[in-house]
Structure 1
Amino acid sequence: MKRLLKQIVFKYIGEEKRTHAPLNSHEKYKKSGLTESEAFYIREKIKKAFEEDKIYRNNTICLDELSEHIQDNRYKVSQVINMYFSKNFYSFLNDYRIEEAKHLLVSDSTLSVKAIMYEVGFNSKNSFYSAFKKITGLSPNDYRSAATMSFVQNEIQMA
Protein backbone atom coordinates (compact mmCIF):
# COMPACT_ATOMS: atom_id res chain seq x y z
CA MET A 1 0.00 0.00 0.00
CA LYS A 2 2.86 2.35 0.90
CA ARG A 3 4.52 1.64 -2.48
CA LEU A 4 1.28 2.36 -4.35
CA LEU A 5 0.84 5.63 -2.45
CA LYS A 6 4.39 6.70 -3.34
CA GLN A 7 3.78 5.86 -7.01
CA ILE A 8 0.63 7.98 -7.01
CA VAL A 9 2.49 10.88 -5.39
CA PHE A 10 5.36 10.60 -7.91
CA LYS A 11 2.91 10.50 -10.78
CA TYR A 12 0.98 13.48 -9.40
CA ILE A 13 4.09 15.63 -9.14
CA GLY A 14 5.37 14.51 -12.53
CA GLU A 15 8.10 12.10 -11.51
CA GLU A 16 6.43 8.87 -12.58
CA LYS A 17 9.52 7.58 -14.36
CA ARG A 18 11.75 6.89 -11.38
CA THR A 19 15.40 6.42 -12.04
CA HIS A 20 16.96 6.62 -8.58
CA ALA A 21 16.84 4.27 -5.61
CA PRO A 22 14.02 1.74 -5.42
CA LEU A 23 10.85 2.51 -3.45
CA ASN A 24 11.58 -0.37 -1.13
CA SER A 25 13.46 -3.64 -1.18
CA HIS A 26 11.41 -6.46 -2.54
CA GLU A 27 11.41 -9.47 -0.26
CA LYS A 28 11.93 -11.89 -3.14
CA TYR A 29 15.23 -10.19 -4.10
CA LYS A 30 16.75 -10.31 -0.64
CA LYS A 31 19.33 -12.94 -1.63
CA SER A 32 19.89 -11.96 -5.26
CA GLY A 33 23.37 -10.52 -4.74
CA LEU A 34 22.70 -7.57 -7.05
CA THR A 35 24.79 -4.62 -5.87
CA GLU A 36 23.61 -1.04 -6.12
CA SER A 37 26.37 -0.14 -8.58
CA GLU A 38 25.58 -3.18 -10.73
CA ALA A 39 21.88 -2.27 -10.67
CA PHE A 40 22.72 1.30 -11.71
CA TYR A 41 24.80 0.00 -14.64
CA ILE A 42 22.04 -2.38 -15.76
CA ARG A 43 19.41 0.38 -15.40
CA GLU A 44 21.44 2.65 -17.67
CA LYS A 45 21.81 -0.11 -20.28
CA ILE A 46 18.05 -0.77 -20.17
CA LYS A 47 17.29 2.94 -20.63
CA LYS A 48 19.71 3.11 -23.57
CA ALA A 49 18.13 0.03 -25.18
CA PHE A 50 14.69 1.61 -24.95
CA GLU A 51 15.41 5.30 -25.52
CA GLU A 52 18.21 5.17 -28.09
CA ASP A 53 17.96 1.73 -29.68
CA LYS A 54 14.14 1.76 -29.46
CA ILE A 55 14.13 -1.98 -28.85
CA TYR A 56 10.44 -1.80 -27.90
CA ARG A 57 9.56 -1.48 -31.61
CA ASN A 58 10.45 -5.15 -32.03
CA ASN A 59 7.07 -6.88 -31.90
CA THR A 60 8.57 -10.10 -30.54
CA ILE A 61 10.72 -8.56 -27.80
CA CYS A 62 10.77 -10.44 -24.53
CA LEU A 63 12.83 -10.27 -21.36
CA ASP A 64 15.30 -12.83 -22.72
CA GLU A 65 15.88 -10.75 -25.86
CA LEU A 66 16.34 -7.55 -23.85
CA SER A 67 18.84 -9.35 -21.61
CA GLU A 68 20.70 -10.61 -24.65
CA HIS A 69 20.64 -7.14 -26.22
CA ILE A 70 22.22 -5.51 -23.17
CA GLN A 71 24.32 -8.61 -22.46
CA ASP A 72 23.26 -9.14 -18.89
CA ASN A 73 21.59 -11.79 -16.76
CA ARG A 74 17.82 -11.95 -17.34
CA TYR A 75 17.05 -12.32 -13.62
CA LYS A 76 19.04 -9.22 -12.75
CA VAL A 77 17.43 -7.31 -15.64
CA SER A 78 14.01 -8.31 -14.37
CA GLN A 79 14.94 -7.32 -10.82
CA VAL A 80 16.14 -3.88 -11.95
CA ILE A 81 12.95 -3.25 -13.94
CA ASN A 82 10.80 -4.34 -11.01
CA MET A 83 12.67 -2.42 -8.35
CA TYR A 84 13.93 0.70 -10.10
CA PHE A 85 11.07 1.33 -12.50
CA SER A 86 8.35 -0.16 -10.24
CA LYS A 87 6.91 -2.17 -13.13
CA ASN A 88 7.07 -5.59 -14.63
CA PHE A 89 8.73 -6.03 -18.02
CA TYR A 90 5.53 -5.86 -20.10
CA SER A 91 4.20 -2.76 -18.32
CA PHE A 92 7.57 -1.11 -18.84
CA LEU A 93 7.55 -2.13 -22.51
CA ASN A 94 4.01 -0.87 -23.08
CA ASP A 95 4.80 2.49 -21.49
CA TYR A 96 7.47 3.14 -24.11
CA ARG A 97 5.28 1.88 -26.93
CA ILE A 98 2.33 4.05 -25.89
CA GLU A 99 4.52 7.15 -25.44
CA GLU A 100 5.71 6.82 -29.03
CA ALA A 101 2.18 6.07 -30.24
CA LYS A 102 0.94 9.26 -28.55
CA HIS A 103 3.66 11.25 -30.29
CA LEU A 104 2.86 9.71 -33.69
CA LEU A 105 -0.88 10.21 -33.29
CA VAL A 106 -0.36 13.93 -32.77
CA SER A 107 2.58 14.58 -35.09
CA ASP A 108 1.49 12.64 -38.19
CA SER A 109 -2.22 12.74 -38.97
CA THR A 110 -1.62 10.81 -42.22
CA LEU A 111 -0.71 7.65 -40.31
CA SER A 112 -3.62 5.39 -39.46
CA VAL A 113 -4.01 4.11 -35.92
CA LYS A 114 -3.33 0.60 -37.23
CA ALA A 115 -0.08 1.71 -38.89
CA ILE A 116 1.00 3.37 -35.64
CA MET A 117 0.11 0.23 -33.71
CA TYR A 118 2.51 -1.82 -35.85
CA GLU A 119 5.16 0.90 -35.90
CA VAL A 120 5.47 0.95 -32.11
CA GLY A 121 5.61 -2.85 -31.76
CA PHE A 122 2.09 -4.11 -31.11
CA ASN A 123 0.74 -7.13 -33.02
CA SER A 124 -2.84 -7.00 -31.85
CA LYS A 125 -5.40 -4.23 -32.09
CA ASN A 126 -7.00 -5.38 -28.83
CA SER A 127 -3.67 -5.29 -26.96
CA PHE A 128 -2.86 -1.86 -28.36
CA TYR A 129 -6.25 -0.36 -27.54
CA SER A 130 -6.27 -1.89 -24.04
CA ALA A 131 -2.76 -0.67 -23.22
CA PHE A 132 -3.44 2.76 -24.71
CA LYS A 133 -6.66 3.22 -22.77
CA LYS A 134 -5.09 1.92 -19.55
CA ILE A 135 -2.26 4.46 -19.78
CA THR A 136 -4.06 7.49 -21.23
CA GLY A 137 -7.68 6.92 -20.29
CA LEU A 138 -8.66 7.40 -23.95
CA SER A 139 -8.78 5.35 -27.11
CA PRO A 140 -6.13 6.23 -29.71
CA ASN A 141 -8.73 7.97 -31.91
CA ASP A 142 -10.10 9.96 -28.97
CA TYR A 143 -6.56 10.91 -27.96
CA ARG A 144 -5.80 12.16 -31.48
CA SER A 145 -9.05 14.15 -31.55
CA ALA A 146 -8.44 15.65 -28.11
CA ALA A 147 -4.87 16.59 -29.00
CA THR A 148 -6.00 18.16 -32.28
CA MET A 149 -8.77 20.07 -30.51
CA SER A 150 -6.33 21.29 -27.86
CA PHE A 151 -3.92 22.46 -30.56
CA VAL A 152 -6.69 24.31 -32.39
CA GLN A 153 -7.85 25.98 -29.16
CA ASN A 154 -4.27 27.06 -28.37
CA GLU A 155 -3.90 28.53 -31.87
CA ILE A 156 -7.17 30.48 -31.46
CA GLN A 157 -6.08 31.84 -28.08
CA MET A 158 -2.71 32.95 -29.48
CA ALA A 159 -4.30 34.79 -32.42
Structure 2
Amino acid sequence: MHTLAILLTGFSVFSALILALTHFRCDNYKGQAVAQGMGIILLLTLMGLQLAHFTWLQGDADFLHTPYYQVLLFAVAPAFYLFSKPLLQADASLHLRQLGHLIPVLAAPLLPFKLALPLAFAVGAGYLLWLAYSIYALHSQRSRFRLELAMLGAVFVIAVLVLLLGLGLPLLPEKLFFMLYTSAIGMAFLLVNIVLSIAPQLSTDVAEAARETYAISTLGTIDCEAMLSRLNHLMDQQQVYQETAMDLPTLAAHMSLTSHQLSELINTRLGKGFSRYIREYRVKAAENLLLQRASMPVLTVGMEVGFSSQSNFYEAFRELTGMTPGQYRKVHKTTPK
Protein backbone atom coordinates (compact mmCIF):
# COMPACT_ATOMS: atom_id res chain seq x y z
CA MET A 1 0.00 0.00 0.00
CA HIS A 2 2.87 2.36 0.85
CA THR A 3 4.55 1.78 -2.52
CA LEU A 4 1.28 2.25 -4.41
CA ALA A 5 0.62 5.51 -2.56
CA ILE A 6 4.10 6.81 -3.43
CA LEU A 7 3.69 5.90 -7.12
CA LEU A 8 0.26 7.52 -7.33
CA THR A 9 1.63 10.64 -5.64
CA GLY A 10 4.24 11.04 -8.36
CA PHE A 11 1.65 10.37 -11.05
CA SER A 12 -0.67 13.01 -9.53
CA VAL A 13 1.99 15.72 -9.47
CA PHE A 14 3.07 15.21 -13.07
CA SER A 15 -0.52 14.74 -14.21
CA ALA A 16 -1.55 18.04 -12.60
CA LEU A 17 1.24 19.88 -14.41
CA ILE A 18 0.42 18.28 -17.77
CA LEU A 19 -3.32 19.00 -17.42
CA ALA A 20 -2.62 22.62 -16.50
CA LEU A 21 -0.46 23.05 -19.61
CA THR A 22 -2.59 21.08 -22.08
CA HIS A 23 -6.25 20.76 -21.10
CA PHE A 24 -6.64 24.18 -19.47
CA ARG A 25 -5.77 26.12 -22.59
CA CYS A 26 -7.90 29.08 -23.65
CA ASP A 27 -9.11 27.06 -26.68
CA ASN A 28 -10.89 24.63 -24.36
CA TYR A 29 -12.43 27.33 -22.17
CA LYS A 30 -13.65 30.05 -24.51
CA GLY A 31 -15.90 32.38 -22.54
CA GLN A 32 -15.17 30.36 -19.38
CA ALA A 33 -12.25 32.25 -17.84
CA VAL A 34 -13.53 31.65 -14.29
CA ALA A 35 -13.73 27.87 -14.80
CA GLN A 36 -10.31 27.86 -16.45
CA GLY A 37 -8.67 29.82 -13.61
CA MET A 38 -10.34 27.82 -10.85
CA GLY A 39 -9.46 24.56 -12.60
CA ILE A 40 -5.78 25.49 -12.53
CA ILE A 41 -6.07 26.50 -8.86
CA LEU A 42 -7.72 23.14 -8.11
CA LEU A 43 -4.87 21.28 -9.81
CA LEU A 44 -2.26 23.25 -7.87
CA THR A 45 -4.13 22.58 -4.61
CA LEU A 46 -4.25 18.84 -5.23
CA MET A 47 -0.61 18.88 -6.27
CA GLY A 48 0.28 20.64 -3.01
CA LEU A 49 -1.62 18.01 -1.01
CA GLN A 50 0.13 15.16 -2.79
CA LEU A 51 3.56 16.71 -2.27
CA ALA A 52 2.79 17.02 1.43
CA HIS A 53 1.68 13.37 1.49
CA PHE A 54 4.83 12.30 -0.35
CA THR A 55 7.24 14.00 2.04
CA TRP A 56 5.38 12.62 5.06
CA LEU A 57 5.18 9.06 3.73
CA GLN A 58 8.88 9.15 2.90
CA GLY A 59 9.70 10.48 6.34
CA ASP A 60 11.54 13.50 4.95
CA ALA A 61 9.34 16.20 6.52
CA ASP A 62 5.98 16.63 8.18
CA PHE A 63 3.81 19.16 6.37
CA LEU A 64 0.60 17.38 7.32
CA HIS A 65 0.33 18.71 10.85
CA THR A 66 0.70 22.33 9.75
CA PRO A 67 -1.65 25.22 8.88
CA TYR A 68 -0.33 24.98 5.29
CA TYR A 69 -1.85 21.52 4.88
CA GLN A 70 -5.15 22.50 6.50
CA VAL A 71 -5.56 25.45 4.12
CA LEU A 72 -5.00 23.17 1.12
CA LEU A 73 -7.40 20.59 2.50
CA PHE A 74 -10.21 23.11 2.95
CA ALA A 75 -9.49 24.70 -0.44
CA VAL A 76 -10.17 21.56 -2.51
CA ALA A 77 -14.00 21.52 -2.29
CA PRO A 78 -14.55 25.29 -2.91
CA ALA A 79 -12.06 25.27 -5.80
CA PHE A 80 -13.83 22.32 -7.38
CA TYR A 81 -17.21 24.03 -6.91
CA LEU A 82 -16.04 27.30 -8.48
CA PHE A 83 -14.52 25.32 -11.36
CA SER A 84 -17.61 23.19 -11.98
CA LYS A 85 -20.40 25.72 -11.48
CA PRO A 86 -19.79 27.76 -14.67
CA LEU A 87 -19.72 24.55 -16.71
CA LEU A 88 -22.61 22.67 -15.10
CA GLN A 89 -25.00 25.60 -14.61
CA ALA A 90 -24.21 27.81 -17.61
CA ASP A 91 -23.18 30.75 -15.43
CA ALA A 92 -19.76 32.11 -16.38
CA SER A 93 -20.00 35.20 -14.16
CA LEU A 94 -18.20 35.63 -10.85
CA HIS A 95 -20.38 37.06 -8.07
CA LEU A 96 -19.17 38.71 -4.87
CA ARG A 97 -21.23 36.29 -2.80
CA GLN A 98 -19.04 33.49 -4.08
CA LEU A 99 -16.23 34.92 -1.96
CA GLY A 100 -18.09 33.30 0.95
CA HIS A 101 -16.55 30.01 -0.17
CA LEU A 102 -13.22 31.35 1.06
CA ILE A 103 -14.39 31.54 4.68
CA PRO A 104 -13.58 27.89 5.56
CA VAL A 105 -10.19 28.26 3.83
CA LEU A 106 -9.33 31.37 5.85
CA ALA A 107 -10.50 29.75 9.08
CA ALA A 108 -8.57 26.51 8.46
CA PRO A 109 -5.25 27.58 10.07
CA LEU A 110 -7.05 28.41 13.32
CA LEU A 111 -8.50 24.91 13.80
CA PRO A 112 -6.82 22.12 15.76
CA PHE A 113 -5.55 19.36 13.49
CA LYS A 114 -7.80 16.61 14.89
CA LEU A 115 -10.87 18.77 14.24
CA ALA A 116 -9.72 20.22 10.91
CA LEU A 117 -9.56 16.96 8.97
CA PRO A 118 -13.04 15.55 9.66
CA LEU A 119 -14.53 19.05 9.39
CA ALA A 120 -12.93 19.54 5.96
CA PHE A 121 -14.47 16.30 4.74
CA ALA A 122 -17.83 17.24 6.26
CA VAL A 123 -17.75 20.53 4.33
CA GLY A 124 -16.86 18.53 1.24
CA ALA A 125 -20.03 16.47 1.74
CA GLY A 126 -22.15 19.56 1.11
CA TYR A 127 -20.33 20.28 -2.13
CA LEU A 128 -20.74 16.66 -3.20
CA LEU A 129 -24.51 16.94 -2.76
CA TRP A 130 -24.49 20.03 -4.99
CA LEU A 131 -22.41 18.18 -7.59
CA ALA A 132 -24.80 15.22 -7.60
CA TYR A 133 -27.77 17.55 -8.10
CA SER A 134 -26.04 19.50 -10.90
CA ILE A 135 -25.08 16.36 -12.80
CA TYR A 136 -28.60 14.99 -12.44
CA ALA A 137 -29.98 18.26 -13.83
CA LEU A 138 -28.21 17.43 -17.10
CA HIS A 139 -29.82 13.98 -17.32
CA SER A 140 -31.79 15.03 -20.39
CA GLN A 141 -28.44 15.34 -22.21
CA ARG A 142 -27.06 12.00 -21.01
CA SER A 143 -27.24 10.37 -24.43
CA ARG A 144 -24.54 12.79 -25.61
CA PHE A 145 -22.13 11.98 -22.78
CA ARG A 146 -22.98 8.41 -21.83
CA LEU A 147 -19.40 7.11 -21.57
CA GLU A 148 -17.95 10.35 -20.23
CA LEU A 149 -20.60 10.63 -17.52
CA ALA A 150 -19.98 7.02 -16.53
CA MET A 151 -16.30 7.77 -16.06
CA LEU A 152 -17.03 10.97 -14.15
CA GLY A 153 -19.48 8.96 -12.08
CA ALA A 154 -16.55 6.74 -11.10
CA VAL A 155 -14.65 9.85 -9.99
CA PHE A 156 -17.73 10.83 -7.97
CA VAL A 157 -17.75 7.40 -6.29
CA ILE A 158 -14.10 7.86 -5.37
CA ALA A 159 -14.97 11.24 -3.86
CA VAL A 160 -17.74 9.65 -1.78
CA LEU A 161 -15.36 6.95 -0.56
CA VAL A 162 -12.80 9.59 0.37
CA LEU A 163 -15.51 11.46 2.24
CA LEU A 164 -16.44 8.36 4.23
CA LEU A 165 -12.76 7.73 4.81
CA GLY A 166 -12.30 11.24 6.18
CA LEU A 167 -15.32 11.05 8.45
CA GLY A 168 -14.02 7.73 9.78
CA LEU A 169 -10.54 9.14 10.44
CA PRO A 170 -10.72 8.66 14.26
CA LEU A 171 -11.22 4.91 13.69
CA LEU A 172 -8.21 4.43 11.40
CA PRO A 173 -4.46 4.50 12.00
CA GLU A 174 -3.17 7.84 10.74
CA LYS A 175 -0.64 6.35 8.32
CA LEU A 176 -3.21 4.02 6.75
CA PHE A 177 -5.64 6.91 6.34
CA PHE A 178 -3.14 9.09 4.47
CA MET A 179 -1.98 6.22 2.27
CA LEU A 180 -5.60 5.57 1.28
CA TYR A 181 -6.32 9.28 0.79
CA THR A 182 -3.19 9.71 -1.34
CA SER A 183 -4.11 6.69 -3.47
CA ALA A 184 -7.68 7.95 -3.94
CA ILE A 185 -6.46 11.30 -5.29
CA GLY A 186 -4.11 9.48 -7.66
CA MET A 187 -6.90 7.22 -8.93
CA ALA A 188 -9.12 10.25 -9.52
CA PHE A 189 -6.35 11.83 -11.62
CA LEU A 190 -6.05 8.59 -13.60
CA LEU A 191 -9.77 8.49 -14.37
CA VAL A 192 -9.85 12.16 -15.33
CA ASN A 193 -6.98 11.58 -17.77
CA ILE A 194 -8.85 8.65 -19.30
CA VAL A 195 -12.00 10.76 -19.70
CA LEU A 196 -10.10 13.62 -21.33
CA SER A 197 -8.28 11.25 -23.69
CA ILE A 198 -11.68 10.04 -24.88
CA ALA A 199 -13.32 13.49 -24.99
CA PRO A 200 -10.69 16.26 -24.87
CA GLN A 201 -13.34 18.94 -25.52
CA LEU A 202 -15.57 17.69 -22.70
CA SER A 203 -15.59 20.99 -20.82
CA THR A 204 -16.85 22.87 -23.88
CA ASP A 205 -19.48 20.25 -24.66
CA VAL A 206 -20.77 20.16 -21.07
CA ALA A 207 -21.00 23.96 -20.95
CA GLU A 208 -23.05 23.94 -24.16
CA ALA A 209 -25.33 21.21 -22.80
CA ALA A 210 -25.84 23.22 -19.62
CA ARG A 211 -26.73 26.36 -21.56
CA GLU A 212 -29.31 24.32 -23.46
CA THR A 213 -30.69 22.71 -20.28
CA TYR A 214 -31.17 25.97 -18.39
CA ALA A 215 -32.21 28.20 -21.28
CA ILE A 216 -35.78 29.13 -22.13
CA SER A 217 -36.49 28.21 -25.74
CA THR A 218 -35.42 30.90 -28.18
CA LEU A 219 -36.84 29.19 -31.27
CA GLY A 220 -40.51 30.08 -30.89
CA THR A 221 -40.58 32.43 -33.89
CA ILE A 222 -37.97 30.59 -35.97
CA ASP A 223 -38.66 28.35 -38.97
CA CYS A 224 -36.38 25.57 -37.77
CA GLU A 225 -36.56 23.48 -40.95
CA ALA A 226 -35.58 26.47 -43.08
CA MET A 227 -32.74 27.32 -40.70
CA LEU A 228 -31.46 23.74 -40.78
CA SER A 229 -31.50 23.84 -44.56
CA ARG A 230 -29.58 27.13 -44.48
CA LEU A 231 -27.10 25.64 -42.00
CA ASN A 232 -26.52 22.59 -44.21
CA HIS A 233 -25.91 24.85 -47.20
CA LEU A 234 -23.34 26.92 -45.32
CA MET A 235 -21.50 23.84 -44.11
CA ASP A 236 -21.77 21.52 -47.13
CA GLN A 237 -21.68 23.99 -50.01
CA GLN A 238 -19.85 27.05 -48.71
CA GLN A 239 -17.73 25.01 -46.30
CA VAL A 240 -17.57 27.81 -43.74
CA TYR A 241 -16.10 25.36 -41.20
CA GLN A 242 -12.77 25.82 -43.01
CA GLU A 243 -12.49 29.33 -41.57
CA THR A 244 -10.24 29.08 -38.51
CA ALA A 245 -12.08 31.91 -36.78
CA MET A 246 -15.49 30.31 -37.33
CA ASP A 247 -17.23 30.24 -33.97
CA LEU A 248 -20.81 30.20 -32.70
CA PRO A 249 -21.46 33.98 -32.94
CA THR A 250 -19.91 34.17 -36.43
CA LEU A 251 -21.95 31.28 -37.82
CA ALA A 252 -25.09 32.66 -36.13
CA ALA A 253 -24.51 36.01 -37.85
CA HIS A 254 -24.32 34.21 -41.23
CA MET A 255 -27.78 32.83 -40.51
CA SER A 256 -29.28 36.02 -39.02
CA LEU A 257 -29.77 34.22 -35.70
CA THR A 258 -28.54 34.93 -32.20
CA SER A 259 -25.88 32.69 -30.68
CA HIS A 260 -28.44 31.23 -28.27
CA GLN A 261 -30.84 30.44 -31.13
CA LEU A 262 -28.21 28.66 -33.19
CA SER A 263 -26.91 26.78 -30.16
CA GLU A 264 -30.41 25.61 -29.27
CA LEU A 265 -31.15 24.67 -32.89
CA ILE A 266 -28.05 22.46 -33.12
CA ASN A 267 -28.59 20.96 -29.67
CA THR A 268 -32.27 20.15 -30.02
CA ARG A 269 -32.43 19.18 -33.70
CA LEU A 270 -29.02 17.57 -34.20
CA GLY A 271 -28.40 16.25 -30.69
CA LYS A 272 -24.91 17.69 -30.24
CA GLY A 273 -23.17 20.86 -29.17
CA PHE A 274 -21.81 23.47 -31.59
CA SER A 275 -18.15 22.68 -30.92
CA ARG A 276 -18.64 18.98 -31.66
CA TYR A 277 -20.72 19.82 -34.73
CA ILE A 278 -17.86 21.89 -36.17
CA ARG A 279 -15.24 19.30 -35.18
CA GLU A 280 -17.14 16.57 -37.00
CA TYR A 281 -17.20 18.56 -40.25
CA ARG A 282 -13.52 19.45 -39.99
CA VAL A 283 -12.43 15.89 -39.19
CA LYS A 284 -14.52 14.48 -42.05
CA ALA A 285 -12.92 16.95 -44.45
CA ALA A 286 -9.49 16.08 -43.04
CA GLU A 287 -10.13 12.37 -43.64
CA ASN A 288 -10.79 13.09 -47.31
CA LEU A 289 -7.73 15.33 -47.70
CA LEU A 290 -5.42 12.84 -46.00
CA LEU A 291 -6.30 10.25 -48.63
CA GLN A 292 -6.76 12.48 -51.67
CA ARG A 293 -3.51 14.41 -51.14
CA ALA A 294 -1.08 11.83 -49.84
CA SER A 295 1.90 14.19 -50.14
CA MET A 296 0.30 16.99 -48.13
CA PRO A 297 1.82 17.26 -44.62
CA VAL A 298 -0.55 16.27 -41.85
CA LEU A 299 -0.33 19.68 -40.15
CA THR A 300 -1.21 21.41 -43.42
CA VAL A 301 -4.28 19.20 -43.70
CA GLY A 302 -5.42 20.33 -40.26
CA MET A 303 -4.95 23.98 -41.14
CA GLU A 304 -6.77 23.54 -44.46
CA VAL A 305 -9.93 22.25 -42.79
CA GLY A 306 -10.05 25.00 -40.15
CA PHE A 307 -8.15 23.82 -37.07
CA SER A 308 -6.15 26.56 -35.38
CA SER A 309 -3.31 24.40 -34.06
CA GLN A 310 -1.74 20.98 -34.39
CA SER A 311 -2.81 19.97 -30.87
CA ASN A 312 -6.47 20.84 -31.55
CA PHE A 313 -6.37 18.90 -34.81
CA TYR A 314 -4.82 15.79 -33.26
CA GLU A 315 -7.16 15.84 -30.24
CA ALA A 316 -10.30 16.19 -32.35
CA PHE A 317 -9.17 13.62 -34.92
CA ARG A 318 -8.28 11.07 -32.26
CA GLU A 319 -11.53 11.72 -30.40
CA LEU A 320 -13.71 11.08 -33.47
CA THR A 321 -11.74 8.37 -35.28
CA GLY A 322 -9.78 6.65 -32.52
CA MET A 323 -6.45 7.21 -34.26
CA THR A 324 -4.04 9.98 -35.21
CA PRO A 325 -4.17 11.56 -38.71
CA GLY A 326 -0.93 9.79 -39.64
CA GLN A 327 -2.28 6.42 -38.55
CA TYR A 328 -5.51 7.05 -40.45
CA ARG A 329 -3.56 7.78 -43.64
CA LYS A 330 -1.56 4.55 -43.31
CA VAL A 331 -4.60 2.38 -42.54
CA HIS A 332 -6.71 3.81 -45.38
CA LYS A 333 -3.91 4.32 -47.88
CA THR A 334 -5.22 4.63 -51.43
CA THR A 335 -3.92 5.83 -54.74
CA PRO A 336 -3.93 9.67 -54.67
CA LYS A 337 -6.39 11.33 -57.01
Give 1:88's aligned residue: 273
Secondary structure (helix, strand or coil) at the match of 1:61 reads coil
How many residue pairs were aligned? 132
Amino acid paired to 2:277: F
Secondary structure of 1:46's partner? helix
**Structural mapping, 1:54-93, within 5 Å:** 54-93=239-278
Matched, 1:100 2:297: no
Specify every segment of 5 or more residues in structure 1 that has no aligned partner in the other structure, as ranges.
Answer: 9-25, 153-159
Separation in 1, partners of 2:292, 2:140: 38
Indicate the residue corresponding to 1:121 in structure 2.
306
The 5 A counterparts of 1:5-154 are 27-29=213-215, 31-35=216-220, 38-148=223-333, 151=334
Moved over 4 A (4+): 1-8
CA contact (8 A) 1:42 1:72 kept: no
Percent identity between the two aligned chains:
23
TM-score (norm 1): 0.73
* Structure 1 residues 130 and 6: CA distance shift in structure 2, 3 A: closer
Q: Which AA in structure 1 matches 2:292?
A: S
Secondary structure (helix, strand or coil) at the match of 1:72 reads coil
- Residue type at the aligned position of 1:50: M
> What letter corresponds to residue 28 of structure 1 in structure 2?
Y
Structure 2 CA distance for partners of 1:48 and 1:105, relative to 1, 3 Å: same
C-alpha distance in structure 2 between counterparts of 1:36 and 1:135, whole Å: 34
Greater displacement, 64-73 / 113-122: 64-73
Larger Rg: 2
Change (3 A) 1:139 1:36: farther
Shift of 1:132: 0.1
1:37: how far off? 6.3
Summarize the Cα distance change of 1:111–1:28 in structure 2 as closer, same or farther, 3 Å threshold: same
SS at match of 1:32: coil
Deviates more, 1:126-135 or 1:74-83: 74-83
RMSD, aligned α-carbons:
2.4
Deviation at 1:28, TM superposition (A): 3.1
Q: Does structure 1 conserve the Cα–Cα contact (< 8 Å) formed by 2:283 and 2:316?
A: yes
CA deviation after TM superposition for structure 1 residue 35, in Å: 3.8
